[in-house]
Structure 1
Amino acid sequence: MIIELQEAQKAVIQQKGDYAVVAITKHGVELARKLGQSFQNADVYYMSKFEKGDEGEKDIQLFTGSVRLLLPSLFEVYKGLIIIISLGAVVRMIAPLLKDKKTDPGVVVIDDKGEHVISVLSGHIGGANELTKEVAAALKARPIITTASDVQETIAVDLFGKRFGWIWDSAEKLTPVSASVVNEEKIAIVQESGEKEWWLYGRPLPENIKSYRSILEALAEKPDAALVVTHRNLSEEEQQILQNGVLYRPKVIVLGMGCNRGTTSKEIEAVIDETLAELNVSKKSVKAICTIDLKKDEAGLIEVKNKNRWEFICYTPEELNSIKIEDPSETVFKFTGAYGVSEPAALLYSGAETLALTKKKSGNVTISVAVIPY
């Protein structure tokens, strides 16, 4: 199939991967084909006049007409665009498409000889900086990245913990806190939970960035900005640190769950919300629901995990029985083959030695809560 690009008509494309590689010159096509082989998750597009006859076999999409008419369709659906066209031309073509750095795809530009790979748009949140490094490595080219936090080798506030799945409680202060970091102002970091391997450079933290054991300790030092990593809901006093701070929610909460057959998702989620509130824990920090394999098709649990995009882990009775629990139940064993479900399931997944909540029975639902230790 050849995509015929015409004014006032949206291009009909076939998206399969997360990235699109686009070329319009003879040399650019060779680079695009090479990247198409290197990046298994990339779709390749180039002009039909460079057709080689194997495009159908390689799932390469050909087009006729101006590439300017192709980019809007690619911009809407791909996570990143790798464009082998001059930087100036790309800037002019994508300018009308820009909406928001939180939603725009990452855009990377490669010169026609494949010597330079340039991060152009959405370097951090859109992943263009990381994509630039990967593409440059594949082509043995030079990566060009101009983002201040990358050049200065300091913390990228908008990407902090992203590779671990951390999420912001609010994006409101991302820009001012980022400015404080790159301007080398006094920065406080408080980490109460989550992965510790977030510093990527083989040297100590910059002198302007200091870690504190608690939020109150950090507040006493009057920092210009703060990065707080915790699954806990902050007290009114602690929230003062967010006046120029970003609160990150690490994925550390594991819910061990059991329920009667046919329990509705509404009842299950109500118990979860109530329990997390009692524990003073953010729902954004939940990583997984864990249960026994007899519940792998339980509609209510599946609906809740799908809605919240949580992992759903099911263990065999033998796996659950490998964990020692405080109050093993002969009744539960009679019906399931396991002496407990919610408690051992939460302990198994989390690797924790103790539970934040041992077990709570509410209506048709039983829940235990564990915090993943790092």
Structure 2
Amino acid sequence: MNNVAVLHITDNGRKIADRLLELFPGAVISKFRPDIVDVLWKENDAIIFIMAAGIVVRAIAPLLKDKKSDPAVVVLDEQGKFAVSLVSGHLGGANELAKEIAGILGGEAVITTASDVNNLPSIDLWARDNDLIIENWDVLPLVGTRYVNNGGLRVYCDIPLALPPEFLRVSDPRFADAIITNKRDVYAGSPRCSITGEGCSTEACRVKGQVYLRPLNLVAGIGCNSGTPLDEIEAALQTTLEEHNLVFSSLLSLATIDIKGNEPGLRAFADKHGLTLQVFSTADLNTVAGIEPSEVVIKATGAIGVAEPAALLASGDDKLIVPKQKKGNVTVAIALKTVRSAELGVRNGE
């Protein structure tokens, strides 16, 4: 935790707060006032309250947004007997924080998240640790409840990725609780259902409520004319992905030739979506085998191509999943990046 605030009410609470400096030397310790909680909420990764839980609940209730952005909240009694993980137990780190505090104070961590008390891996933490983006957070509570009730999570995964024992791999996405794919429609091309006679995309014969986990494994090679605006680059890439049944949320990075590295529209597009932009020299691009040379590109840059070889160099792979697509002033090619699994190490994203 980088920024931690500790709030107390009594003198005994202050003594506990001072002991917490062993864990968080830079923590800001303040006497509790309802009006300062709002400021601390915005500035800190975690807030530790040493007081009754009821006071804390009333103070933070208007500030709660969601588990992806709320700071970790841990509540302690003023004797340090119990450290209660109250808010953002998983992604925010409150569960681990409560355990660390209990260890320092000789108390007991109180963890109430269902997966933890049932000794099951947390879906959101496992997704984060494996660079997977949860697409439909609204479905996660339903899937999580089913997971705890069943003692296992049925997972369809079309990339090489190690699953914990509690995640049960299934070969058909219809029967999955969680689907790991960069495909926009994982059911595209599925045979018609023998029961309903409909395509599986009708949801007539699949598990109700499926959470999608998107791997960050798409690399887009981009070539563009000078002065091409952000909107045109964005539209070209979006269209290319849609036409090839791929999702934008799986996009990891962009790649281009070095002379386009400071192209305003391309740079603005990368910044807007938080994407890294890798650039390669003409010499580097010309080392890539299997590229059909473009006379137009050779004349303009000296490189045999831009979008295709840049995508391959940035991905570390030797083949494209989408060859170059010309969209107005923009050329796009897509390759798969190697995927890091927390348990497997580095594997190819085929």
Q: Which amino acid aligns with 2:4?
A: A
- Is the Cα–Cα contact under 8 Å of residues 32 and 44 in structure 1 kept in the other structure? no
Indicate how the Cα distance of structure 1 residues 265 and 153 shifts in structure 2: closer, same or farther if over 3 A, else same: same
Aligned to 1:147: 113
Relative distance call for 1:23 and 1:170 in structure 2 (3 A) is: closer
Q: What does residue range 1-374 of structure 1 map to in structure 2 within 5 Å?
A: 19-24=3-8, 25-37=13-25, 44-47=28-31, 66-85=32-51, 87=53, 89-101=55-67, 103-110=69-76, 117-132=83-98, 143-184=109-150, 187-193=153-159, 196-197=161-162, 199=164, 205-206=165-166, 209-215=167-173, 219=174, 223=175, 226-234=177-185, 235=187, 237-238=200-201, 240=203, 241=206, 243-329=208-294, 332-333=297-298, 335-372=300-337, 373-374=348-349
Aligned with 2:246: secondary structure?
Answer: coil
Say which SS state the counterpart of residue 267 (structure 2) adopts. Answer: helix
TM-score, length basis structure 1: 0.74
User: Which structure ranks higher in relative contact order (CA pairs < 8 Å, sequence separation ≥ 6)?
Assistant: 2
8 Å contact 1:157–1:177 — kept in the other structure?
A: no
| Cα drift, residue 86 of structure 1 | 5.2
Q: Percent identity?
A: 35
Quick check: 2:255–2:307 contact (8 Å CA) kept in 1?
A: yes
* Structure 2 residue identity aligned to 1:244: G
Paired letter, 1:30: D
Question: C-alpha distance in 1, partners of 2:168/2:255?
Answer: 37
SS of structure 1 residue aligned to 2:18:
helix
> Structure 2-normalised TM-score?
0.78
Gaps of 5+ in 2: 188-198, 338-347
Instruction: Tell me, in whole angstroms, the C-alpha distance in 2 between the residues paired with 1:293 and 1:93.
Output: 52
One-letter amino acid matched to 1:174? L
Deviation at 1:93, TM superposition (A): 3.5
What SS is found at the alignment partner of 1:173? helix
Amino acid at match of 2:200: E
CA distance in 1 between partners of 2:312 and 2:38 (Å): 48
Contact in 2 for aligned 1:254/1:371 (Cα 8 Å): yes
- Separation in 2 of the partners of 1:21 and 1:68? 14
- The answer to whether the Cα contact below 8 Å between 1:106 and 1:128 also exists between their aligned partners in 2 is yes
The number of residue pairs the alignment matches comes to 321
Which segments of 5 or more consecutive residues in structure 1 lack a partner in the other structure? 1-16, 48-65, 200-204
Native 8 Å contact 1:118 1:145 kept in 2? yes
The 1:294–1:179 alpha-carbon spacing in structure 2 relative to 1, beyond 3 Å, is same
Distance 1:358 1:96, change over 3 A: closer
SS at 1:213's partner residue? coil
State the SS of the aligned residue for 1:243: coil
Q: CA deviation at 1:112?
A: 5.2
Separation (CA, whole Å) in 2 of partners of 1:288 and 1:120: 36
Match of residue 57 from structure 1: none
Is the contact made by 2:317 and 2:336 (CA closer than 8 Å) also made in structure 1? yes
Query: 1:297 offset after TM fit, Å?
Result: 1.2
Q: Letter of the aligned partner of 2:6 in structure 1?
A: V
Q: CA deviation at 1:161?
A: 1.0
Structure 1 pair 238–163 and aligned structure 2 pair: CA distance change class (3 A): farther
Offset at residue 284 of structure 1 (A): 1.4
Q: Distance in 2 between matches of 1:169 and 1:251?
A: 12
Counterpart CA distance in 1 for 2:104 and 2:295 is 58
Counterparts in 2 of 1:191 and 1:131: CA distance versus 1, 3 Å = farther
Three-state SS of the structure 2 residue aligned to 1:81 is strand
Query: Are residues 254 and 85 of structure 1, via their aligned partners in 2, closer, same or farther at CA, if it must alter by over 3 Å?
Result: same
Q: Provide the C-alpha distance between the structure 1 equivalents of 2:162 and 2:202, rounded to a whole number of angstroms.
A: 25
The one-letter code sitting in structure 2 at the alignment partner of 1:278 is E
With 246-255 and 169-178 compared, the bigger mean Cα shift is at 169-178
- The amino acid across from 1:170 in the alignment is N
2:20–2:101 Cα contact (<8 Å) kept:
no
Greater alpha carbon shift after TM alignment, 69-78 vs 284-293: 69-78
Moved more, 358-367 or 331-340: 331-340
* CA pair 145-360 structure 1, distance change in 2 beyond 3 A: same
**1:292 offset after TM fit, Å?**
1.9
Contact 1:32 1:84 (8 Å CA) reproduced: no
Q: Tell me, what secondary structure is at the counterpart of 1:196?
A: coil
Note closer, same or farther for the CA distance 1:362–1:101 as it changes in structure 2 (3 Å cut). closer
One-letter amino acid of the counterpart of residue 231, structure 1: N
Aligned equivalent of 1:54: none
